[in-house]
Structure 1
Amino acid sequence: MRLAPRGLEPDRALRKILPRSLFGRTLLIVVVPLILLEGVALQIFYGSHLDTLSRRLAGSVAGEIAFVLDQADEYPDARQQIFANAAYRFEFAFHFHPGRVLKPRRLPHAFGPVDTDLAHALSTGLGRPFALVWHGPPGMVRVDIQVTDGVLTIDVPRKRLYIGALYIFFAWLGGTTLILLTIAILFLRNQVRGIRRLALAAEAFGMGRDTGPIRPEGATEVRRAGTAFNRMQDRVRRFLAQRTAMLAGVSHDLRTPLTRLRLAIAMLPEDAADIDGMTSDIAEMERLISLYLAFARGEGGEQPQPTDLALLIEEVAARTARGGATIALALASMPPVVLRAEAMRRVLTNLLDNAARHAGRIDISAAPEGGSNVRICIDDDGPGIPPERREQMFRPFESGSAAGIGLGLAIARDIIAAHGGDIRLDDSPLGGLRVAMVLPL
């Protein structure tokens, strides 16, 4: 039993958490330090500076209330004058409720540490029952205090307890965060846009869609990659053009002596020996030359166009059926597929001809798959191919019979791969071989 290397499981868990896109990961690199920095700044401000100032302000208010109550208890006849002076100097508002008994209430919660600081300061400084009401008169904090002959209500201005810079600090913290995130998102989108365009252009070029050169944009490294891709694309185009021209010349050079041989055979007497055999050999040589050139050329000159794939399958199936094959079609409704129609016609023709040579019944089905692909299956009731040999059949010059030259499946895979699709061999429900093709819509 093999054990996973130590640290592999955390690495897998980390990959599941991290964003998959470059934009998401880069943004995470920007956001995480920003949040940590703001967390440290908030802890320093909230945990030390704000907490200290809040305790001092709450202690000051509690001390003033305790001083007023002490003065009122010491000079009961001058209570109203004491309250009036305190209201003028401390900005308090006094309301006396004679004979009332203070009911115990749960201490309310307020934003910041001011609620606990004020409650603690009053508990320490007053030495008598009290209750706090934070949602009392606008702009005021109400303190109900039990005195000997009733309940004294004192309204304390909130500005005496709060730090004016508190909201400014949080607004500055949130505002700078939004500004920095906006700048980072716009910058990263501009950088990632160049990489996305490069990836789309490479994907389209690999599928045979000539979209032309891309416009390099973004950082210097991304621009270099775009420029290098344009140069590579141009070199590949020149190579394909030169190879096509060379193959056209080779085709002409090979067919010329074959034409002369055919004319020479035609001028021989009809009773000459082996005329039919020589004519058949020449036809077979021409067929092989056409097949070799088609394989080497790779159908690179044709441009992809939106094509009715179902109609194309029906045409190829009808041609094969005229040769005596029994073909059943099951074609679902499909949107137009961008492909090279003649190259796809060659693929279907090769596959159906192979199936017709080895089987008596052929079923063809085609339907969309997953919303972005179309799946084509060709099933037959022939002898099939052993699973261990199926991958070998896609190699050039690998043949399942002595009569074949083994280029049909190689050409098919080459063309399907150029379209961005895949082809594979599998067991057929009919008992023979299934050829399954997947093409992007």
Structure 2
Amino acid sequence: MITPPDPLYPHGGPGPVRRFLPRSLLGRSLLIIITPLILMQVISTWVFYDRHYNTITKRLAQGLAGDVAAVTTLLMRDPSVEQHREVFNIARNTMQLRLTLLEGNELPQLARPRVRTVVELRLEDALQERLGLPFVIDARSIEDRVEILVQLPQGVLRVLVTDERLFSSTTYIFISWTIGSSVLLFGIAVIFMRNQVKPIRRLARAAESFGKGREVQDFKPEGATEVRQAAAAFINMRDRIQRQIQQRTEMLAGVSHDLRTPLTRMKLQLEMLTDVPDVKYLQSDVAEMEHMVEGYLAFARGEGQETPAPTDLGVLLRDVVAQMTRDGRAVDLHVEQDLILPLRREGMRRCLTNLIANAQRHGTQVAVRAGRRKHAVEVTVDDDGPGIPPARHEDVFKPFFRLDQSRNPATGGIGLGLTIARDVARSHGGDVALESAPGGGLRVRVWLPV
């Protein structure tokens, strides 16, 4: 059974690893840019937090712990009210500390949070190292403030300090610049990569259109040097193929046309020979030769310069079937839906006519089905004839190959019907293949890209 291949993965789907990677060139290029960018950001952030941030936080915590230790030392050295007032003023004016002495109070037992920040850990270590007194830290109860409670002989010293003493603004500046520069660079990379990918997409569309037999207009090399080289190579290849097809078509048409002239003279001379006993055999040979020449001309016309145009394949099939059933033979036709696609109308008519005529020649019941199948339109022609051995399915597409070795045109034509059909289908970017019909006989499957 022929299955239209995926144009992106003609040999099967992507591997297990590639399945998770972007499929487009733009996506993969951006991934190549983003991956080292993210790694650089991760490494820079790790180095910053491991070195700079921890060092700055530790030094700020040690400075605050030193101020608290100095205040407690002064309060414990002289417990008078005047000394307390002077120490409180110095702490407020020079150290940004707000002090309150709760005389006669005991240090409360605050619930320790499960997750403590780096600042809390650094401050706790610094106070344990420099203070030498029981203390409690509360950095969550008061907004924008850190509360430190220190147990003194005369009571509890309550110290309120702003977050500015423990946090460095360089952290936020570093993160803001890192994220902002990454977003900016990523946006610039996207714009440049989109411009680089556009010429490749144009080249892909041009190659796809040419492969489907459509005109490629207004295509010129653009983009980077390598893309321009590929585009120029495509243009040269297209021109060479078109010249080759044109020369082959002209040669076949010329040879076939030249042969018709002597054949016509031979027919006239044979008509005047009435007393020759074997003249009917000569007339049969001339008729066979004329039939072969007509086949050559049809084959040459199959590679003509007809321009593809939007065509309703269902309407074309109905016209062909109506023409093929004028002699009373029935053809079961079913078209699933409107099938409009670019076709060379006369070439596709010749392809379908050859396939249906071949089915009528070898079978009594012919069924034609047409519908959309994923990326293509599919037409099947089934008959109940003897079929073709699977080993010969590809051989019958060869020019002038016939399973009937008698070479009798009445039993199998001249061997160009399937060749012309496949040639027309492939000129549209599709194909023709043979398989066994479900009810016996032969099934011809034609698929055409949408």
Q: Which amino acid aligns with 2:57?
A: S
- The higher relative CO (CA closer than 8 Å, separation ≥ 6) is in 2
1:104-143 alignment to 2 at 5 Å? Answer: 104-107=110-113, 113-126=118-131, 127-134=133-140, 136-138=142-144, 140-143=145-148
Q: Which residue of 2 aligns with 1:346?
A: 350
Is 1:396 matched with 2:405? no
Q: Which amino acid aligns with 1:418?
A: S
Is 1:360 matched with 2:368? no
d(CA) in 2 for partners of 1:183 and 1:51? 34
Q: Is the 8 A contact 2:151 2:157 kept in 1?
A: yes
Q: Which amino acid aligns with 2:435?
A: D
Q: CA deviation at 1:217?
A: 1.5
Is 1:192 matched with 2:201? no
Q: In structure 2, the residue corresponding to 1:218 is in which secondary structure?
A: coil
Q: Is the 8 A contact 1:375 1:438 kept in 2?
A: yes
Q: CA deviation at 1:109?
A: 5.9
Is 1:424 matched with 2:433? yes
Is 1:299 matched with 2:303? yes
Q: Is the alpha carbon distance of 1:249 and 1:210 closer, same or farther for their aligned partners in structure 2, counting shifts above 3 Å?
A: same
RMSD: 2.7
Q: Which residue of 1 aligns with 2:76?
A: 73
1:280-291 alignment to 2 at 5 Å? Answer: 280-291=284-295
Q: Is the 8 A contact 1:108 1:133 kept in 2?
A: no
Q: Which residue of 2 aligns with 1:50?
A: 53
Q: Which residue of 2 aligns with 1:169?
A: 174
Q: CA deviation at 1:333?
A: 0.9
Q: CA deviation at 1:294?
A: 3.2
CA deviations on 1:153-193 (whole Å, 9 max, x unpaired) are: 43322222222222222222112212222222222222221
Q: Which residue of 2 aligns with 1:93?
A: 98
Q: Which residue of 2 aligns with 1:7?
A: none
d(CA) in 2 for partners of 1:391 and 1:149? 106
d(CA) in 1 for partners of 2:155 and 2:400? 109
Moved more, 397-406 or 172-181: 397-406
d(CA) in 2 for partners of 1:390 and 1:351? 14
d(CA) in 1 for partners of 2:333 and 2:151? 94
Q: Is the 8 A contact 1:145 1:153 kept in 2?
A: yes
Q: Is the alpha carbon distance of 1:273 and 1:50 closer, same or farther for their aligned partners in structure 2, counting shifts above 3 Å?
A: same
Q: Which residue of 2 aligns with 1:408?
A: 417
Q: Which residue of 2 aligns with 1:323?
A: 327
TM-score (norm 1): 0.87
Moved more, 66-75 or 249-258: 66-75
Q: In structure 1, the residue corresponding to 2:304 is in which secondary structure?
A: coil
Q: CA deviation at 1:35?
A: 2.4
Q: Is the 8 A contact 2:377 2:448 kept in 1?
A: yes
Q: In structure 2, the residue corresponding to 1:254 is in which secondary structure?
A: helix
Q: Is the alpha carbon distance of 1:411 and 1:106 closer, same or farther for their aligned partners in structure 2, counting shifts above 3 Å?
A: farther
Q: In structure 2, the residue corresponding to 1:76 is in which secondary structure?
A: coil
Question: Aligned residues, how many?
Answer: 427
Q: Is the 8 A contact 1:334 1:368 kept in 2?
A: no
Q: Is the 8 A contact 1:369 1:375 kept in 2?
A: yes
Find 2:388's aligned residue among 364, 367, 385. 385
Q: Which amino acid aligns with 1:187?
A: F
Q: In structure 1, the residue corresponding to 2:168 is in which secondary structure?
A: coil
Q: Is the alpha carbon distance of 1:430 and 1:136 closer, same or farther for their aligned partners in structure 2, counting shifts above 3 Å?
A: same
Structure 2: which 5+ runs fail to align? Answer: 1-13, 406-410
